[in-house]
């Protein structure tokens, strides 16, 4: 049960916040541009799995408990920074592949689906800002006249659904760009763009300040 006015405001605020690209979105776009839409959607599944766990922690009221482990969060953040920069350097150094004979756009060497999924999971989980953000963001839309638990779980479900929908749209857009990258020069540009996106995501995460 939710206050309809507060819930509408929550949905609008969530859309605005999720549309702004962060580490998850930059990873999704880079994967789609390199491997296609399917790879982007697998990446979305990985980030969503991590977000679901973070949202459960928020709904259970454990975010404040985990905040006690501030030093652990700081270590986790720097692991995420290093991992994103590592993935970016890998993408930047990737060499172009010959075009297929049927005129299809060449794709980067295949990556296992499970590897894509877990890379996305790690990137999403090593952004501890999400937990703190949700713990601070959700209470603003709680109606004190209604039971808190159902409101939190409803917001968590809505937040995850919106995140998956918008992230999937980024995956589709990134995958569409792949079809235009047939020449070696275009592939080199793609590799530099996707690598740059991941490095930028890592540097952005490095600039996050814990409150």
pLDDT digits (tens, 9 = 90+) for 95-143: 665 544 444 444 455 678 888 999 899 888 877 666 767 777 788 788 8
Domain extent, residue 40, equals: 4-16+23-206
The number of residues making up the chain comes to 211
What is the value of pTM for the model shown? 0.70
CA angle in degrees (0–180, nearest 5) for 153-155-159:
120
Residue 145 pLDDT more than 80? Answer: yes
Predicted pLDDT at 110: 60
Q: What is the mean pLDDT of the chain?
A: 77
Q: How many domains does the chain have?
A: 1
The verdict on residue 211 lying in a domain is no
Q: Is residue 108 part of a domain?
A: yes
Closest CA to 164 of 46, 67, 56, 63: 46
Instruction: Answer whether residue 40 is part of any domain.
Output: yes
Q: Is position 9 within any domain? A: yes
| 93 located within any domain | yes
Give the whole-angstrom CA distance, residue 179 versus residue 106: 8
Structural domain contains residue 185: yes
Cβ-contact 170, 29 below 8 angstroms = yes
Indicate whether 49 pLDDT > 90: yes
At 75, phi and psi to the nearest 5? -65, -45
Q: Is the pLDDT of residue 57 over 90?
A: no
Contacts of 153-157 spanning 24+ positions with Cβ under 8 A: 153/59, 154/1, 154/2, 154/7, 155/2, 155/7, 155/10, 156/55, 156/56, 156/58, 156/59
Structural domain contains residue 84: yes
Cα separation, 55 vs 115, whole angstroms:
23
């Amino acid at each position: 049960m939710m206050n309809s006015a507060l819930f509408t405001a929550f949905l609008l605020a969530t859309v605005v916040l999720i549309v702004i690209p962060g580490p998850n979105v930059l990873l999704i776009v880079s994967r789609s541009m390199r491997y296609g839409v399917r790879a982007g959607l697998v990446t979305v599944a990985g980030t969503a799995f991590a977000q679901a766990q973070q949202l459960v922690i928020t709904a259970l009221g454990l975010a404040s408990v985990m905040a006690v482990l501030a030093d652990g969060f700081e270590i986790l953040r720097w692991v995420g920074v290093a991992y994103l920069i590592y993935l970016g350097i890998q993408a930047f150094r990737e060499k172009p592949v010959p075009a297929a004979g049927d005129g299809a756009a060449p794709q980067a060497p295949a990556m296992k689906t499970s590897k894509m999924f877990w890379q996305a999971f790690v990137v999403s989980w090593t952004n501890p800002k999400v937990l703190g953000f949700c713990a601070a963001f959700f209470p603003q839309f709680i109606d004190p006249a209604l039971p808190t638990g159902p409101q939190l779980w409803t917001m968590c479900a809505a937040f995850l659904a919106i995140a998956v929908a918008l992230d999937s749209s980024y995956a589709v857009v990134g995958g569409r760009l792949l079809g235009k990258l047939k020449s070696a020069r275009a592939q080199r540009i793609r590799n530099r763009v996707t690598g740059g996106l991941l490095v930028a995501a890592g540097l952005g995460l490095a600039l996050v300040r814990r409150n």
